[in-house]
Every structure is written in C-alpha cells, then in structure tokens.
C-alpha cells in the first residue's frame, strides 16, 4: 500500500457527529462520557474466588510467592473484578477477586502478580492463588466506578530489580499521576503528575526511566526514576486536532531492546519510533490498516501489535495481530472480533491475545495464534480480559 495513505484521515475521523453512536462510546472520547455503573458481579470461570481484600495496614509484607505452573497465563478480568488463571490448552482454571475493574497486569520473578484496579494495586500470590494486599492510591480519583473511563489504575510496570511498582492512575476529567509503590513495604512512596488517561507504563531496561503513555493528551511522560522528575514528549503523528474527540491518539508503548527507543503504533499505518532522551520521533510505515491498541516486544526485537478493528469499515481493515520483525517486515494475522492486549510464549511460537477490549464488542476469550502456521483458536478466559502475563 502507499506509504502513509490518506493524508486527510485526521480530518475524516474528527467528525464525531457523523460517526455511529457505538463508535462515540469508544476510545475517541474523554473521561466522563460513560456513566458509572454498578461494580462487577465477581463471578468466575472454572474455579473459586478468594474474597479477602486485606490492606497494607493490616497485612504483613509477603515473602517470596510460590511458583505457578510455567507457561500458564494470568489475565485481568475488567468485567468481574478478578484475575483468572488460564491453562493454555484447557482454558480458565480459577480466579481470585482483586478489586473493581482490574486493568494492567504484571508478574514479577518472585511469582507475585500486580494488577491496577479502580481501588488500588492488588498483589496476588500466583502459587497459592491468594490475594496478599490491596494498596490504595494516594491520588484522589473520586468514587469507585467501572467502565472505560473509570478512575484508578491503568498501565502498570515493575522495576527491573523488583523493588518498585509503577502505576498510571487515571483521574476522570483531568490529568493523571504516576504512583510508585515499594514492593517490600507495600506503600506508595511517590507521585508524579502525568498526562490524561495513562493507558500504559513501561520501564527502561536499566530501570533509570519510566515511560507513561497518556492516551488523551497525545504524549508520553518520561520520568527519571531516581528523582521522579517528569518531562513531556508529544507523540502525535497525525497531529492533535480534535483533542478528546480524536481517534488518533497513543495507546500502548513497547521499549525496543536494541536501543531503548519507544515504539508506538498508530492505525496500522504509522509506527512512531521515539528517542526518549531527545524527544525526537521518526515515523515508519505499517501495513495492517486497523485501529491499534496493545503491544509487546520479545527479547529478539519482534514487535507484536493488536489491531482492534476499523474506524471506518468502508476503508479500514478488521481486527488483527501484527508481528513486525526488527528489519520492518510484517506479518498480519486476522482475528475475529476486537481484542486489547498480547503476550507471547517463552519459546516465541505462540501469541495470546485478550478479547476483553476497552470498548464495546468484547468477548470473554483469548485468541491463541500459532505464529508458524497462522492457525488461530479461541480459549475461554475470564470476564472481559484486558491485561495478560505468561507465568
């Protein structure tokens, strides 16, 4: 396809009144557009639920967690206030209640999982399948609600040495914060102002910098870990026209292993390659031609990008998974229905894509993609799964 086709795309998608009501409830909008609804039921698939929710003030610091079965999966159930364990062959095997509307998810080498809920950062022992703590946020995010624009934690990342958790906290109607949690004491030790709706948080390989991807302010906040000093880097390859009504915003970021640059895909058309030291952005072409959300990168430099589906069905392609080689060649695997995030097996042969999605159209499944043959199968996995990690 021609490089960067449709120079007028930004104008075309910035006319909300001409788009269907379904699209207007999606990620183009800003905080407050979705009414608060009641908390999830907490029902699970294939297992029991732990309802304990101890706070750091009443729970001693946990020791090393027991090991979960290698190769199993853990997903955050945005629709059920739980995390669900998933056997990659059989499907869901049990869940643990963690707090309202869990979003991002990360697992440490010690077997502890950390997930960003609307109420706080939940800590789960993946070996015993037990909630260890729920660390409340220092930021005032208003009433606890659910839905796409709810306040509370979104993106989450773990420092390379395991000593700190970094979580992006959404404040409906305003700018968010990055909160730092000490993993030994389970207390918030610092807060940093960032942009609007911090979808994703990443850390440099040496742990010196933290990168917060802010969906509604078209930017990445680069935070120096030692001083918690922030600086803003705009990432807007289509421009910022339309503000909160624009679809062409950053969602998730991957840190390239070879040089530490940030990789942000847009619309299956443009890959923004950002140098976090200088703020300089280089644009490379992509080929999937679909609205893109979740990303991950493997140690060999392969970039995996989730395509959620078309903005304009008359011109854009459907949901997909793009695998981009370090040299820039891409293979696009079609998917059925919208998806949100992706993880890759340890041997690099299988991708697991969550069907939860932040907008309407989600399904309670994972799509399992054989990266060699291209075969795809669906696996039952919790309720509206968003975040995912391979244990």
Q: What is the mean pLDDT of each run of 10 residues along the chain (391 residues)?
A: 44 41 48 34 32 40 59 96 96 97 97 98 98 98 95 98 98 98 98 98 98 98 98 98 94 98 98 98 98 97 97 95 98 96 97 89 94 97 96 96
User: How do the residues of the chain divide into helix, strand and coil, expressed in percent and rounded to 5?
Assistant: 5, 40, 55
Structure tokens at 330: 């891409």
Residue 63: what pLDDT?
Answer: 54
Residue 162: what pLDDT?
Answer: 98
CB-based contacts of 111, cutoff 8 Å, min separation 6: 64, 65, 66, 67, 68, 125, 126, 127, 391
Structure tokens at 109: 């080498």
CA dihedral 171, 176, 178, 182 (to 10 degrees): -20
CB-based contacts of 112, cutoff 8 Å, min separation 6: 62, 65, 123, 124, 125, 126, 132, 183
- What is the rounded CA–CA span in Å between residue 249 and residue 320? 19
Confirm if 296 and 304 have CB atoms less than 8 A apart: yes
Confirm if 66 and 128 have CB atoms less than 8 A apart: yes
As to burial, measured by CB atoms within 10 angstroms (0-12 exposed, 13-18 middle, 19+ buried), residue 372 is exposed
- What is the rounded CA–CA span in Å between residue 367 and residue 380? 9
Structure tokens at 168: 């992006």
Three-state DSSP class for residue 244: helix
In angstroms, what CA-CA distances link 334 with 202, 291, 309?
27, 13, 10
**Sheet architecture: strand order including 303-309:** 291-297, 303-309, 320-324, 330-334
DSSP 60: P
CA dihedral 151, 154, 159, 162 (to 10 degrees): 80
Structure tokens at 351: 């991708």
CB-based contacts of 370, cutoff 8 Å, min separation 6: 349, 350, 376
Confirm if 292 and 251 have CB atoms less than 8 A apart: yes
83 DSSP β-pair partners: 76, 96
Structure tokens at 160: 């390379």
Whether the pTM exceeds 0.85: the reply is yes
């Amino acid at each position: 396809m021609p490089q960067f086709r449709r120079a007028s795309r930004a104008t075309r998608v910035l006319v909300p009144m001409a788009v269907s009501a379904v699209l207007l409830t999606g990620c183009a909008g800003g905080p407050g557009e979705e009414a608060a609804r009641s908390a999830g039921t907490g029902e699970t698939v294939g297992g029991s639920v732990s309802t304990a929710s101890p706070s750091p003030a009443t729970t001693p610091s946990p020791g090393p967690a027991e090991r979960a079965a290698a190769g199993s999966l853990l997903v955050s159930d945005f629709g059920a206030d739980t995390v669900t364990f998933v056997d990659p062959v059989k499907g869901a095997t049990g869940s643990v209640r963690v707090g309202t509307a869990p979003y991002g998810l990360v697992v440490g080498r010690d077997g502890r999982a950390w997930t960003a809920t609307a109420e706080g950062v939940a800590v789960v022992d993946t070996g015993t399948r037990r909630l260890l703590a729920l660390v409340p946020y220092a930021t005032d995010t208003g009433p606890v609600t659910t839905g796409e624009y709810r306040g509370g934690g979104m993106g989450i990342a773990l420092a390379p040495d395991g000593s700190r958790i970094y979580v992006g906290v959404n404040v409906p109607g305003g700018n968010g914060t990055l909160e730092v949690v000490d993993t030994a004491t389970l207390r918030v030790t610092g807060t940093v102002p960032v942009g609007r709706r911090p979808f994703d948080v990443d850390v440099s390989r040496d742990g010196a910098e933290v990168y917060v991807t802010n969906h509604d302010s078209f930017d990445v906040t680069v935070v120096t870990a030692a001083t918690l000093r922030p600086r803003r880097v705009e990432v807007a390859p289509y421009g910022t026209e339309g503000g909160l009504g624009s679809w062409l915003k950053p969602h998730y970021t991957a840190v390239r292993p070879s040089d530490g640059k940030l990789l942000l895909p847009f619309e299956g058309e443009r890959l923004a390659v950002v140098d976090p030291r200088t703020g300089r952005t280089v644009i490379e072409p992509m080929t999937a031609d679909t609205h893109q959300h979740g990303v991950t990168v493997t140690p060999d430099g392969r970039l995996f990008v989730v395509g959620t589906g078309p903005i304009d069905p008359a011109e854009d392609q459907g949901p997909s998974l793009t695998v981009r080689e370090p040299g820039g060649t891409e293979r696009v695997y079609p998917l059925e229905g919208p998806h949100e995030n992706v993880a890759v097996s340890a041997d690099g042969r299988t991708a697991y894509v969550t069907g939860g999605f932040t907008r309407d159209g989600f399904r309670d499944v994972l799509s399992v993609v054989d990266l060699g043959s291209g075969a795809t199968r669906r696996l039952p996995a919790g309720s509206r799964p968003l975040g995912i990690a391979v244990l």
